[in-house]
Structure 1
Amino acid sequence: MYMGIDLGTSSVKIVLIDEGGALIDEASSPLLLSRPRPLWSEQEPQAWWDAVQAAVGALKARRSLDAVVGIGLSGQMHGAVLLDDRNQVLRPAILWNDGRAGAECKELERSEPNSREITGNLAMPGFTAPKLIWVSRHEPDIFRRTARVLLPKDWIRLKLTGEAVSEMSDAAGTLWLDVGQRRWSPAMLAATGLSERHMPRLVEGTEVSGHLSSEAAALLGMRPGIPVAGGGGDNAAGAAGIGVVHPDKAFVSLGTSGVIFVADDILKKDPERAVHAFCHCIPGMWHRMAVILSAAATLSFAAHLSGAADEASLLAETEAAGLAAKTQSRLVFLPYLSGERTPHNDPTASGVLFGLDSTTTRADLGRAALEGVAFALADGLDVLEASGGALDALSVIGGGARSRLWGRILSAALQRPLTYHRGSEVGPALGAARLARTAASGASLDEACPPPPVSHVIEPEAELVEALAPRRALYRRLYSDLKSSFAASVA
């Protein structure tokens, strides 16, 4: 068996696959998010490790793990885990959806004028490098004591293997990587007051990065010495899980955040439109992404705000109300609950409900939330196609893939057919397990990472396409009208 560990924002998910790639079992353990101040988003790394142990324990309670011969890692990108010279955590990890480092992004690009050329990306507050400039300014003692910076999944790797290692796809999201050359950039590190000695060793996602230590094996109840693959950032690993490992293949991810991901065989940069250009977890490949910061998180927020029992209850109530144009309220939801990336790069943007009246129902709120995310992803699709050509087909992964209602809305907003694959809701964890198989057994990419069997396809519905078009136009006007007010509200 091969194990894939995905360190998400809301939970740790672990899957087991067999030698043929079939999903055998899965388990998860929840995580909490801390927002101690406006724009801040943090988690305690120890909580990640506790969740890994809990999820492995749940699997072990159902089956022996003696047959596991490879482990792969995936996880939330961009987080900053600061360690001292004894590998002790110095402060809570600053996460991908943290917006405090807006001023530091401008400082970084002033310090290194070639930043966008080196990294292929616009400096954004969620990326790792600006966070370290913020720490140097506001927590100088912590910065002085920082001996190493790790990304979230790579801190889990340190706990598993004792090795400080990262891989290309996750490292590309730090703004410290020369993305074209697939190596750390001395110039970008110097611009944040760091050097390569602060960085982990780099491998490709399909390579062995280390082996399960005796100490970790004892804690997890597994055999020591199991090889641990480089793995990938959550979206690159999700691509491996859905079979997007060849040029021009693409998918939509509906996790806590939302992503449209396109695989490329060359590096295609478009930082001015806030398109992410990163290394793939596959050697010799890159990818582009349009990223929105709140996808499933928007649905969770709407469920909490409206008093629904949970997201599933809100979805059921929304579906029962129907999607016919005559049932449509005038409610529009801007889902910028943690700021926004593509195409706005605006950490000050906030969520907005427009069009509330005395007839607004909970189902209206649910529908507006689903539509708002779909409109945000449609904005992302527009800029991706402007930088690299039309995308005719999209697969869907992530927890949001479970909802056919959301699929109908998303397909209509994107005006594209959406393909759903078996097991697509566990994409990153499945991809991590597939990368483990490649690293541990030498299986080829086509053997280890084929597209899973298709479960169903959702085609755009003409009536829904027509109904959503004016609402998307209003959605886009609202952001333009409110942009200056967003910035002023946090000044």
Structure 2
Amino acid sequence: MILGIDIGTSVTKAALIDRDGTSHHHASTSSALIKGPDGQVEQDLDDVMDSVARVAREVVHSASGPIDAVAITAQGDGLWLRDAQGRAVRNPMSWMDARASSIVARWGEGGADSVTERVFRLTGSGVFPGSHAGLLAWLSEHEPESLEKAAVAGYCADAVLQRLTGEITVDASDASLPFLNVTTREYVTEALELCGIAKWQHLLSAPAAVDKVFTLDAAGAELLGLPAGTPVSSGPYDLQACSFGAGAEHAGDGTVIIGTTLACQVFTRDTTIRPEFEPAGMWLCTPDPDLYLRVMPSMVGTAGIDWMLSMFRLEPSDLTGLLEQSPPGANGVRALSFLSPAGERAPFVDPLARGQFTGLTIANTRADVVRALCESVVFAARHCLEVPGFDGELSASGGGVRSTAWAQLLADTMGTPIWIPHEAQVGIRGAAQVAWKRLGTPVDTDAWRQQRTRLDPNPDAHAALDAVYREYLAELGAARTRWNNA
């Protein structure tokens, strides 16, 4: 068995994963988000470590046999500054943090010669306010003393790993955005120079080898309730781990993760940075040096749906019934679901992106409004998958697909079968799969892929939604012009 730990933005989860891919003895607990003015979102590293200890000890206490290793996956992006002993020099800054929005907006000025475009042509990844680029630049302008005190500028997973093992490192999946040449796995100094933060490059750890396994030190062993020397695998970070856990692994395979935000990703062996792409999304290393993951991590997702349901004083359990009460196209109501204060980061970057509803009349119902918002989220998913060129199997996971009606909406919009894993803990499952490979005892991934349910699209619904999707793209184009000319 492997103890898998998934450190999310507000929830930390743990489970034991067997070699057949099944999970046992789940535990979860919350960690705090610290919100401040100007879109600030931070966390407390000690609070996060407490959450890791709580779920790990609960699961370890329930184990009926030896634990072969610990597999860690975690939220990506953000900025987790630490000293050489792994102590936070300031609160970690979340990937949701929006305080660098004005900096990123400034980088986007100038068309093809903008900072954003030039960085994208060097690394294949976009920049957004909550990425290392924006947050390092903001600190360099407003809080350089924190950078001067730091020994490492990392991410959530490597911050936790340092406290468990004493090692300063980073998984290549985390390090990929936005300064890594993913083919050589080396940082591109010119990209840091364009962002005005090259003086802080020494804070970026060299990516760990693809087969690197660490071991718990005495402090980490005490924290988790395991023997010192227990192997530890860290990474890939949660988006990629979810793809592996959901059954995607071949070039062309895609995954949609409908969570608080919406992550759409496609595996590829193509090493071309395509000039026709907008400078957005992520180009990530994977444990296979010749396989990459193109990720479009949209800021839309269930957070917007939860907001809408609360406005109508409804519960998430009401969602399926509401979707069934309104036909495809939501009786003419159209929505753009860009409700994050930080704007959007994929498949385009715009800190000024905002939501909207159009086509409303007094004949419409709340079911039409809710369906229009759900359709717009799924349209965003299709848009995000079309950009990198999805052409294989499509898996779906996350809280959104627990609603059968919403999962069907995704299948109908894409016009292709959707594969939904039986196991809900796909991030932990994917991290465990990678851990066993690093330990030299890989699992039978074909057998793991059989543990999924296929959901086929309805041809009539697809035809109707395809027409509405074209309207969505046109409305999005008009809105983007309006946002940036206001």
The TM-score normalised by the length of structure 2 is 0.88
Aligned residue type for 2:9: T
Question: In the alignment, which residue of structure 2 is the partner of 1:64?
Answer: 63
The one of 300, 303, 311 equivalent to 1:297 is: 303
- Describe the shift of the 1:486–1:94 C-alpha distance in structure 2 as closer, same or farther (beyond 3 A): farther
Paired residues of 2:74 and 2:235 also in contact (CA < 8 A): no
The residue correspondences of 1:128-277 to structure 2 (distance < 5 A) are 128-173=132-177, 175-189=178-192, 191-208=196-213, 210-270=214-274, 272-273=277-278, 274-277=280-283
Distance 2:115 2:260 in 1: 33
Distance 1:359 1:38 in 2: 38
Question: In the alignment, which residue of structure 2 is the partner of 1:315?
Answer: 319
RMSD: 2.8
Question: In the alignment, which residue of structure 1 is the partner of 2:338?
Answer: 336
The Cα offsets for residues 93-126 of structure 1, whole Å up to 9 and x where unpaired, read as 2222333324434559867985334312233333
Gaps spanning 5+ residues in structure 2: where? none
Distance 2:116 2:259 in 1: 33
- Quote the offset at 1:166 in angstroms: 0.9
Deviates more, 1:145-154 or 1:33-42: 33-42
- Quote the offset at 1:70 in angstroms: 0.9
Question: In the alignment, which residue of structure 1 is the partner of 2:449?
Answer: 452
Percent of residue pairs bearing the same amino acid type? 26
Deviates more, 1:287-296 or 1:193-202: 193-202
Distance 1:364 1:32 in 2: 34
Gaps spanning 5+ residues in structure 1: where? none
Residue 124 of structure 1 aligns to a residue in which SS?
coil
Paired residues of 1:112 and 1:188 also in contact (CA < 8 A): no
Residue 99 of structure 2 aligns to a residue in which SS?
coil
Residue 420 of structure 1 aligns to a residue in which SS?
strand
Deviates more, 1:31-40 or 1:296-305: 31-40
The Cα offsets for residues 455-486 of structure 1, whole Å up to 9 and x where unpaired, read as 42222212322332343334333333333543
- Quote the offset at 1:356 in angstroms: 4.2
Paired residues of 1:164 and 1:201 also in contact (CA < 8 A): no
Question: In the alignment, which residue of structure 2 is the partner of 1:422?
Answer: 422
- Is residue 431 of structure 1 aligned with residue 459 of structure 2? no
Distance 1:137 1:65 in 2: 53
The one of 287, 295, 302 equivalent to 1:281 is: 287
Question: In the alignment, which residue of structure 1 is the partner of 2:40?
Answer: 40
Paired residues of 1:293 and 1:340 also in contact (CA < 8 A): yes
The TM-score normalised by the length of structure 1 is 0.88
The Cα offsets for residues 391-448 of structure 1, whole Å up to 9 and x where unpaired, read as 143111222232211111111212221112221x3221111112222223x123x635
Distance 1:295 1:231 in 2: 24
Paired residues of 2:411 and 2:418 also in contact (CA < 8 A): yes
Distance 2:146 2:416 in 1: 48
Distance 1:143 1:399 in 2: 37
Residue 49 of structure 2 aligns to a residue in which SS?
helix
Aligned residue type for 2:152: R
Paired residues of 2:82 and 2:159 also in contact (CA < 8 A): no
- Describe the shift of the 1:303–1:162 C-alpha distance in structure 2 as closer, same or farther (beyond 3 A): farther
- Quote the offset at 1:47 in angstroms: 2.7
Aligned pairs, how many? 475
